[in-house]
Homo-oligomer: A and B are copies of this chain.
């Protein structure tokens, strides 16, 4: 195939051209043109289906291997069980939405949305989160109350640090309560759920910070921040978990144009942390009490804490005025859970790229959410609002931690649930093995047989050791004559002859706990 070789040569040359332009930091248009030529050449090759493929997954994505899947299943089971305990239903939505459904929902982050190619028909984008599709679903089906969870992948064209367990394709795991209810009861249940899940997953100590958008806005107002700067100052405050106050202040003054005095007043408030007492104190605060918005938020925080006491979760909840959260659509209470034990911090794996000691500051957020009473109304033709509050579990970070734990632990992660391997000690027993394994399958026993006519007993036993299968049912000429099976415990190597009639019962009995 001369053609193919020629194209490959051309690709090589063109690749050099692109690299050179990039290293020279040539202008973008020029680079783009040369990259387009390169892709064109590659596409020519691609069509014959025979060239050597680039063996990789798309940037920012990954496969899950069986071990990762076993861990993922365990985590999902814990979380789903909790959602179900709280009476949630589940829904699913398509992976892509009409582009306009997502437009205007994510502020600056909209640039991170993946668009599909226009192949004729509608303009589509991959979902960026599960909240906007949920709101679209509610409006489209005129649903005014529902308690639902949704676990699915979302897509962001980010440049994530993958060592931190962040990807372009990642799971979100959302629980939301939609409906017109009495204040703070569903909000408190969301926090109860976070508390239950993080406790059950055994991730170490954690803290759930709460605040309220109205308190932030009220605070900005009484400190003298101009109205049109609320959102941008809010996003600067949001950086306090990663930056020191000094740096945050610098950004407020130098980049966002606040006066030192205003910034310092904000600084005083955002250093405050407490519980119901702090909410009460701020309701009396001379400045704060001038803002109706802030007072509404503070009263709700006070009410929230009274419910949290009944739910027995105040030990982990802190009212923290520095909590801001980026997303535009929040209208009331907001919260975020962080792990406070450095030992299991997934962020610490790449501290070589950070400031020494930084890991104490940027402990990972593992859940977050808040109230968004306006989002569904954006989709309703008549603007009818459906108040919503929800929480998103930071499942990818939790996976990373669980994987690290599994790595560190002596216990092997099993990737199958096979209870028994049907093996033979001699040759020519394939038929007998297949008959027996059929009996077991038909009785609902999880069983395996090697796909060889005459496998060695040793290799059959080795497979059990490797994949953690607890029992082996061994057939031989003698066993067949006697109407028994030799049942071997892999861990202890104990063997016992069990009659064929008793075998299924015996396997069930021995693997009940497993």
Contacts and interface: CB of A to CB of B under 8 A. Distances in A.
Interface of A: 39, 42-43, 46-50, 52-59, 61-66, 69-70, 72-73, 84-101, 103-105, 114-119, 121-124, 126, 136-137, 139-141, 146, 148, 153, 155, 157, 169, 177, 179, 181-182, 185-186, 189, 192, 196, 307, 310-312, 378-379, 381, 415-418, 430-431, 434-435, 438, 441-442, 444-448, 451-453
B103 A91 contact: no
A416 B97 contact: no
Given A54-B98, A98-B58, A157 B103 contact: no
B431 A87 contact: no
Contact of A91 (B56, B63, B445): B63
Contacts of A182: 451-453
A181 B459 CA distance: 14
A65 B98 contact: no
B415 A89 contact: yes
Contacts of A92: 63-64, 69, 72
A438 B310 CA distance: 7
A381 to B, nearest CB: 6
A70 B92 CA distance: 11
30 contacts: A39-B118, A43-B100, A46-B99, A46-B103, A48-B104, A50-B104, A53-B98, A54-B100, A57-B140, A58-B98, A65-B141, A66-B148, A73-B90, A85-B445, A85-B447, A86-B448, A87-B447, A94-B169, A114-B116, A115-B117, A116-B117, A177-B451, A179-B451, A181-B452, A182-B452, A182-B453, A185-B430, A192-B438, A310-B435, A311-B434
Nearest to A36: B118
B115 A47 contact: no
Contacts of A104: 46-50
Given A53-B379, A98-B54, A137 B63 contact: yes
A446 B47 contact: no
A243 to B, nearest CB: 29
A179 to B, nearest CB: 7
Contacts of A136: 53, 55
Contacts of A57: 93-94, 97-98, 140
A134 to B, nearest CB: 10
A33 to B, nearest CB: 13
Contact of A90 (B61, B69, B98, B118): B69
A87 B451 CA distance: 13
Contacts of A448: 86-87
A30 to B, nearest CB: 14
Most buried by B among A53, A115, A136, A311: A53
A438 B311 contact: yes
B49 A105 contact: yes
B59 A416 contact: no
Contact of A49 (B196, B378, B418, B453): B378
B140 A58 contact: no
Most buried by B among A58, A307, A441, A447: A58
Contacts of A39: 118, 123
B56 A446 contact: no
Contacts of A126: 95, 116
A89 B416 CA distance: 5
Given A310-B438, A379-B55, A431-B310, A418 B117 contact: no
